Structure 1
């Protein structure tokens, strides 16, 4: 019995405390699933011809559209508020989807982002307009892509390719639903998305602890 109490204090209690504080304004201890098992994109084109997969990665997913220059400010917001805080987590990645034909614009964008610092974990993926539309429809979202196949929103996808967000009630008991995070609004990234990404990472840290403890017992 004493051994179980010691294990609880050493491993479980700190993680529960972390989840509590990580949740911030979010009333969820586990971030709800919005859409289960979305398709992978490991056969899509990339700048370096290396496949990019969503499976077994915690992904921030974005749809940029053909007007890459217009979205540049959103990239900087995302880099500073989300990427810099999580880039050291080895299974964390940023995946930005563009219509085929925007490769030269994206190369220029990469040069601009490089001025902010490292781009490790940033992935730029290209698909035909129909590919992008079909893939986006599979996300089963309320929001829609604009006529240029873009949206200011980005989405959190877990390692099992489940799209995660807020669904239920907030702390005041009011209905709350959030499927994506508006990269134009720094306040939304800071007050909501940072908290929600922390929760996802905390889930996996807790899972790693459990697996480690289980293997030690064996």
Structure 2
């Protein structure tokens, strides 16, 4: 019995503690605000806005075929699980002239799931750089106005990320070329943000009922 007790203390309790605290992060944590007041995409396309939306923002650039794998990864690992939330959307900033290639990409994306919340916004290089620069990250767009990284923007047009990751670095965005990063990091952060808004909604509903 003593040996069994020792084994439980050494091996089982640490696992239980880890699961408890990991669950606490997702149930009660908040995703840090990295940059406030991101320039609204409505400045480029009046039909699309960050306001009151949870947005996954990406920059696919001129070479759509080259970045197609990134879009498919995001569609499979992130969009498919969250697109049914009313306030959720994907916004991809695209250089003007890529419209035909984007239509081809949309057909491929739609083979997996309904893509009504994929928004493609076409702008000139200055407009694309303007939106990207407002994120205030340590990343850069390449010569095709693209980056493999995608960014989580909240309903108040603020960039959400991680102040300090396992490598003790600020995480501004997530590398869409890495399925592991999307699965192990980004999906968790989207869940945390959605849970944050659900808690706020429940709290507001309780206040309204008590006032009534």
Same fold (TM over 0.5): yes
User: Which of the two has higher C-alpha Rg?
Assistant: 2
Which of 178, 184, 188 matches 2:181?
188
> Measured at CA, do residues 178 and 128 of structure 1 come closer, stay the same or move farther in structure 2, by a change above 3 Å?
same
Displaced runs of 4 or more, over 6 A = none
Partner Cα distance (1:20, 1:33) in 2: 20
Q: What are the superposed Cα offsets for residues 25-44 of structure 1, whole Å, 9 maximum, x if unpaired?
A: xxx92111111011111142
> Measured at CA, do residues 96 and 19 of structure 1 come closer, stay the same or move farther in structure 2, by a change above 3 Å?
farther
| Partner residue, 2:138 | 142
Partner Cα distance (2:118, 2:130) in 1: 23
Partner Cα distance (1:152, 1:215) in 2: 43
Q: What are the superposed Cα offsets for residues 82-103 of structure 1, whole Å, 9 maximum, x if unpaired?
A: 0111111100000001011111
| Partner residue, 1:129 | 125
Partner Cα distance (1:87, 1:19) in 2: 28
| Partner residue, 1:214 | 207
| Partner residue, 1:154 | 150
| Partner residue, 2:33 | 33
> Measured at CA, do residues 139 and 21 of structure 1 come closer, stay the same or move farther in structure 2, by a change above 3 Å?
same
| Partner residue, 2:190 | 197
> Measured at CA, do residues 61 and 217 of structure 1 come closer, stay the same or move farther in structure 2, by a change above 3 Å?
same
- After superposition, residues 86-101 of structure 1 pair within 5 angstroms as 86-101=82-97
* Pairing 1:21–2:17 present: no
> TM-score scaled by structure 2?
0.85
Total equivalences in the alignment: 192
Which of 65, 70, 80 matches 1:69?
65
Q: CA deviation at 1:22?
A: 7.5
Partner Cα distance (1:37, 1:136) in 2: 12
Q: CA deviation at 1:19?
A: 9.5
Secondary structure of the equivalent of 1:155? Answer: strand
Unaligned runs of 5+ in 1: 1-16
Q: CA deviation at 1:80?
A: 0.9
Unaligned runs of 5+ in 2: 1-18
Please provide the CA RMSD for this pair: 2.1
* Pairing 1:164–2:166 present: no
Partner Cα distance (2:121, 2:20) in 1: 34
Secondary structure of the equivalent of 1:116? Answer: coil
Q: Which protein is richer in helix relative to its size?
A: 2
| Partner residue, 1:58 | 54
> Measured at CA, do residues 22 and 69 of structure 1 come closer, stay the same or move farther in structure 2, by a change above 3 Å?
farther
Q: Which protein is richer in strand relative to its size?
A: 1
- After superposition, residues 103-114 of structure 1 pair within 5 angstroms as 103-114=99-110
